[in-house]
Structure 1
Amino acid sequence: MKQFWSPNSINKNKAMVENLQSHGVITSDEVAKAMEAVDRGLFVPDRSYAYVDSPLSIGYNVTISAPHMHAMCLELLEKNLKPGMRVLDVGSGTGYLTACFAFMVGSEGRAIGVEHIPELVASSIKNIEASAAASPLLKQGSLAIHVGDGRQGWGEFAPYDAIHVGAAAPEIPEALIDQLKPGGRLVIPVGNLFQDLQVVDKNSDGSVSIRSETSVRYVPLTSREAQLRGE
């Protein structure tokens, strides 16, 4: 995975965002504001590596994606993350991207994270509570993290304007397409050994359009048991 800077050259969240802007990864002002507001250092096990453009292990055989991948997904979903909209984050991990989503949709919107490792859900809530940008949204209920099988989505607040999946599925789960609002967008890595980041747009008649954005490498979207076994 391409790095846009050397590991020792970035040590602050704002500088990380500025580097992503300078390399054209971030073009939206709203995405830049969200990533500046939500300090990635609060959401990784070792803050000294928080701003390096690399995925990091967070335990349980999973990783937090590299900053440029988070930025890419935010950019792809930006038009579906306007204030008041609803977003679902499948495989929410440390809660970082869910917090960015919540910041963008604001107090009138709703951001839901679903993660099947209870320990990660508990730690992600603590991470969010430490974030000045995201904590108020958690307290008021417009941001929430739940334990669950993200392959089934989260029906309580469906349909969603945006759905993001942070692990690679062998095929796009029908439940997620069903929970996508007409006009909504789903971003999901699809594949096994070879994966593509796919962009799924639901049309007004309920049909979907699918395109591949780029080749990626994510951990698999699987059951909790298989994940813990490293499958």
Structure 2
Amino acid sequence: MDVEPERLTRTLLAAMALVAVASSAWAEPATLTDRRRMVEDIKTMTSEVAGETGIASLSARVLDRMAEVPRHEFVPSEQKAAAYRNRPLALGHGQTISQPFVVALMTELLDVKKEHRVLEIGTGSGYQAAVLAGLVRDVYTIEIVGPLAETAAAAFERLGYTNIHATVGDGYRGWPEHGPYDGIVVTAAPDHIPPALIEQLKPGGRLVIPVGEIWQDLMVLTKNADGTTTRTTVVPVRFVPLTRKKNEDD
């Protein structure tokens, strides 16, 4: 039986549309299942390292937020199948997206509130900023690697994160124009705490930062009302080094 070309085209297009709808219908539940499994992995690891961190469990609001954010939207296409595994993933340019447990832990340590304004040093993929965006009023994030900053900014726009403000620059110096901040999180490791970040932190605010060279200590610095600081070491971690502009002498 001969089939008219136009009719065949219409039939094929209709079939493709049905397949697309079916694929979409299956993809989202699978992703939700993956996110829930990721959160269970985070809970398990939290319990396993509680002796070191002093944190027996993470708050419901942090765990709920980890379940909400589509991590697969913040990883390269070749990494999407591994997006919800509890491990870091390569982004290119010598950078990584942090392990979900570490993102959750650092978010918990910030102790953020809905009215807070938070600075992130090292946008990377944008995932940490996206997690924070649902927990605070505004997130200011700075990335020194231009292509990563562009990709993250595109993701923020595509996903409707209107309270994330991103720029390209040297995070060692912070983003003083919008400070002071209620909290600061650093997602790459310097060998010391940048003085500018302490200056840009509000009294009572927290700075969560990995400090060291090959292996680092994840630290929480709290700024006291009189301007002094209290520092607590939480757990050993491994982050990529904090990249700086060349010819900096700080």
Range class of TM-score, shorter chain: 0.7 to 0.9
The one-letter code matched in structure 2 to 1:200 is: L
Which residue number corresponds to residue 213 of structure 1? 234
**In structure 2, C-alpha distance between the alignment counterparts of 1:127 and 1:88, rounded to whole Å:** 18
Q: Does 1:72 align with 2:94?
A: no
**In structure 2, C-alpha distance between the alignment counterparts of 1:14 and 1:194, rounded to whole Å:** 30
Residue in structure 1 matching 2:46, options 8, 11, 24: 24
- Residue 187 and residue 208 in structure 1: after superposition, are their counterparts in 2 closer, same or farther (change >3 A)? same
Check the 8 A contact 1:90/1:165 in 2, yes or no. yes
Normalization by structure 2: what TM-score?
0.77
Query: What is the CA-CA distance between 1:125 and the residue it aligns to?
Result: 1.6
What is the percent sequence identity of the aligned residues? 41
Query: What is the CA-CA distance between 1:11 and the residue it aligns to?
Result: 6.6
Name the Cα RMSD after superposition: 1.8
Check the 8 A contact 1:11/1:48 in 2, yes or no. no
Check the 8 A contact 2:142/2:169 in 1, yes or no. yes
**In structure 2, C-alpha distance between the alignment counterparts of 1:65 and 1:18, rounded to whole Å:** 17
- Residue 223 and residue 24 in structure 1: after superposition, are their counterparts in 2 closer, same or farther (change >3 A)? closer
Query: What is the CA-CA distance between 1:22 and the residue it aligns to?
Result: 4.3
Which residue number corresponds to residue 110 of structure 1? 138
Which residue number corresponds to residue 6 of structure 1? none
- For each residue in 1:75-106, what CA deviation from the matched residue of structure 2 results, as whole angstroms up to 9, or x when unmatched? 111x2x2111110110010111011111101x
Query: What is the CA-CA distance between 1:225 and the residue it aligns to?
Result: 6.0
The gaps in structure 2 that reach 5 residues or longer are: 1-31, 48-56
Check the 8 A contact 2:184/2:208 in 1, yes or no. yes
Check the 8 A contact 2:189/2:210 in 1, yes or no. yes
Query: What is the CA-CA distance between 1:20 and the residue it aligns to?
Result: 1.6
- Residue 55 and residue 11 in structure 1: after superposition, are their counterparts in 2 closer, same or farther (change >3 A)? farther
**Matched positions, count:** 205
- For each residue in 1:45-87, what CA deviation from the matched residue of structure 2 results, as whole angstroms up to 9, or x when unmatched? 121010111111101001111111111101111x2x2111110
* SS of alignment partner, residue 104 of structure 1: coil
The gaps in structure 1 that reach 5 residues or longer are: 1-9, 227-231
Residue in structure 2 matching 1:190, options 207, 211, 217: 211
**In structure 2, C-alpha distance between the alignment counterparts of 1:23 and 1:193, rounded to whole Å:** 22
Which residue number corresponds to residue 162 of structure 1? 183
Residue in structure 1 matching 2:117, options 73, 81, 86: 86
Normalization by structure 1: what TM-score?
0.84
Tell which structure's C-alpha radius of gyration is larger: 2
The one-letter code matched in structure 2 to 1:114 is: I
